[in-house]
Structure 1
Amino acid sequence: MANPVMNVADLVAIDVHTHAEVSRDGKGSLSPELFGASAKYFKEHPKPTIPEMAAYYRERRMAAVVFTVDAEQATGHVPIPNDEIAEDCAEHADVLIPFASIDPWKGKAGAREARRLVERYGVRGFKFHPSIQGMAPNDRTAYPLYEVIEELGVPALFHTGQTGIGAGVPGGGGIRLKYSNPMLVDDVAVDFPELRIILAHPSFPWQDEALSVATHKPSVYIDLSGWSPKYFPPQLVRYANTLLKDKVLFGSDFPVITPDRWMADFDKLEIKPEVRPKILKDNAARLLGLV
């Protein structure tokens, strides 16, 4: 049976930032300690399977980028397999778009894995979480991986700013916030000028740094996930309305924040009518090669 096909014109939005938090066999994407801290920070939330995510987004006429985080070297926790996520998303290709996550500590082995995932499974991008993975984005260890991602022509999405993962755990669960300063991604944008980069989240406490990088580097975008729009810093709203209107993307951080809540608050934000469809769908459709 052929996989379903996405009808981009029929979509009301494309959510570029959602998490697969549970595998087919019920294992979590994070260790119980880090999951517990995340639940306290974001409040307890369901952990839907990928088929359940597909049903949720299909009901809302939205598409969603889905990924996990591979941070096995730093955390010792075995991630949800990228192959599994890609296969499950392919069964719901009308609404789900698979990204992969490869621990940058894997170096050249990770680069080979990235090529396999794109060429065999049609993975559409890669997710990095520098703080959880325990590596600065501009660490040369990751460069063979970036080189292949750039060559394959798919985006790299980097968590930026503070993270709720590890919050409240002694020592933050070993997670260092400094690795998620967007200025470290600026080096990546310089060294890989054709690599399309997404800076995830309003980048507290480095919002101005993120805006600076995105306005200076043509290949750098910003997603709006992880925060309710009512809490967006005013300068982020101002840039989204003007200089970055073609480079800002809707993202929710589902399941910790639902698109329903995000959209309700976004409706109240002072965004120009002509800019709204760009943020909600058009910019992402272009970036992901869906149109």
Structure 2
Amino acid sequence: MDVSRLKAIDIHVHAEVSCHDPEDPIFAEFLDASTRYFKTDRRRPTIPETIAHYREREVGFVMFAVDMEAGTGIRRIRNEEIAEAAAANSDIMMAFASIDPHKGKLGVIEARDLIEKHGVKGFKFHPPLQGFDPSDRMAWPLYELINHYKLPAIFHTGHSGMGTGMPGGGGIRLRYGQPMLVDEVAVAFPEMKIILAHPGWPWTDESLSMALHKPNVFIDLSGWSPKYFPPQIIRYANSQLGHKFLFGSDFPLITPDKWIAAYDEAGFKPELRDRILKGNAATLLGL
């Protein structure tokens, strides 16, 4: 991935449609609800369509699915499918893997295989959907592997659009998205770069405190249009934390075009634009 040729790097792009497997009927209910919540198109793009979308815009991106089989019963999109697409489009795309921590040692073996044989460059955790407290020692073996390889890991934080409006929130427990639950992970695994996904509302200040306190903690700004950001996000970006924020869209729920257009009107200092849109991500990803 040649950073000089890219206009931006989107660190938060979802794969929601498999090229090989049919749509899971339980996942379909979550997609229906998230479509209403985000007011977006119910038809989700395929992985090849996503690649074409980003290539046309000269925007690099990190893609992942979410393995939430234990927490929801939803059949996952295989990590290998995303890794294969990234290998064939490495000038524009990078693959992160998602492994449900409930899978224990079997999950660790899979993670090592994905790193060593499939070129996966990081990992994605969604504690509310996966049904676990990120500080639970159950997940420690996976963290130890990621820390060993000095790879980044994205943790969903804050409110979850997935499940919003469904009876019982679709069984999703929002408390697992509290950023401070990840603080113990940042202490125990300092070689793992931790990316707190989204502005973290209603715990935004916890994310900011962690990014200020821990050198290995970063924040991606996905899942919200910048015009709706809590004001402290922009205040800290313009002062102490400009090097800690990363562009992420949450595609396909929010497109990179709409996110970047809103960013340009949100009040960030002009000199931060290149750093937040791609420079910080390039450094974190080792590009």
The TM-score with structure 1 as length reference comes to: 0.96
1:16 and 2:26 equivalent? Answer: no
Identity of aligned residues (%): 60
Q: CA deviation at 1:26?
A: 5.1
Between the aligned partners of 1:107 and 1:26, the Cα distance in structure 2 is 25
39, 47, 50: which one aligns with 1:43: 39
Deviates more, 1:43-52 or 1:75-84: 43-52
Contact 1:156–1:197 (CA under 8 A) maintained in structure 2: yes
Q: CA deviation at 1:44?
A: 3.2
Question: In the TM superposition, what are the counterparts of 1:129-140 in structure 2 within 5 Å?
Answer: 129-140=126-137
Question: In the TM superposition, what are the counterparts of 1:257-268 in structure 2 within 5 Å?
Answer: 257-268=254-265
1:32 and 2:28 equivalent? Answer: yes
1:99 and 2:96 equivalent? Answer: yes
Q: In the TM superposition, what whole-angstrom CA distance separates every residue of 1:177-228 from its partner, at most 9, and x where no partner exists?
A: 0000000000110111221100000111000011001111110000000000
Letter in 2 for 1:233: P
Contact 1:51–1:92 (CA under 8 A) maintained in structure 2: no
The equivalent residue for 1:75 is 72
Between the aligned partners of 2:104 and 2:153, the Cα distance in structure 1 is 16
Q: For 2:195, what is the secondary structure of its paired residue? A: strand
Letter in 2 for 1:11: L
- Unaligned 5+ segments in structure 2 are none
212, 227, 239: which one aligns with 1:230: 227
Between the aligned partners of 1:261 and 1:55, the Cα distance in structure 2 is 17
Between the aligned partners of 1:31 and 1:52, the Cα distance in structure 2 is 20
The equivalent residue for 1:3 is none
Q: CA deviation at 1:270?
A: 1.5
Q: For 2:270, what is the secondary structure of its paired residue? A: coil
The equivalent residue for 2:186 is 189
Between the aligned partners of 1:167 and 1:131, the Cα distance in structure 2 is 12
Q: In the TM superposition, what whole-angstrom CA distance separates every residue of 1:48-73 from its partner, at most 9, and x where no partner exists?
A: 11111111111111001000000101
- Unaligned 5+ segments in structure 1 are 1-5
Letter in 2 for 1:252: S
Letter in 2 for 1:282: G
Letter in 2 for 1:23: S
Q: For 1:270, what is the secondary structure of its paired residue? A: coil
Q: CA deviation at 1:74?
A: 1.1
99, 111, 119: which one aligns with 2:116: 119
Q: CA deviation at 1:40?
A: 1.1
1:286 and 2:283 equivalent? Answer: yes
Between the aligned partners of 1:187 and 1:287, the Cα distance in structure 2 is 21
Q: CA deviation at 1:25?
A: 2.5
Between the aligned partners of 2:169 and 2:250, the Cα distance in structure 1 is 20
Between the aligned partners of 2:279 and 2:53, the Cα distance in structure 1 is 21
Contact 1:19–1:255 (CA under 8 A) maintained in structure 2: yes
Letter in 1 for 2:8: A
Q: In the TM superposition, what whole-angstrom CA distance separates every residue of 1:224-280 from its partner, at most 9, and x where no partner exists?
A: 000000001110111112211111000000000001100111111221222111100
Decide whether aligned partners of structure 1 residues 28 and 288 sit closer, same or farther in structure 2, where only a CA change above 3 A counts.
farther
How many aligned residue pairs are there? 285
Letter in 1 for 2:272: V
Letter in 2 for 1:36: D
1:143 and 2:140 equivalent? Answer: yes
Q: CA deviation at 1:161?
A: 0.2
Contact 1:28–1:80 (CA under 8 A) maintained in structure 2: no
Contact 1:115–1:152 (CA under 8 A) maintained in structure 2: no
Between the aligned partners of 1:192 and 1:200, the Cα distance in structure 2 is 18
Between the aligned partners of 1:209 and 1:20, the Cα distance in structure 2 is 28
Decide whether aligned partners of structure 1 residues 244 and 27 sit closer, same or farther in structure 2, where only a CA change above 3 A counts.
farther
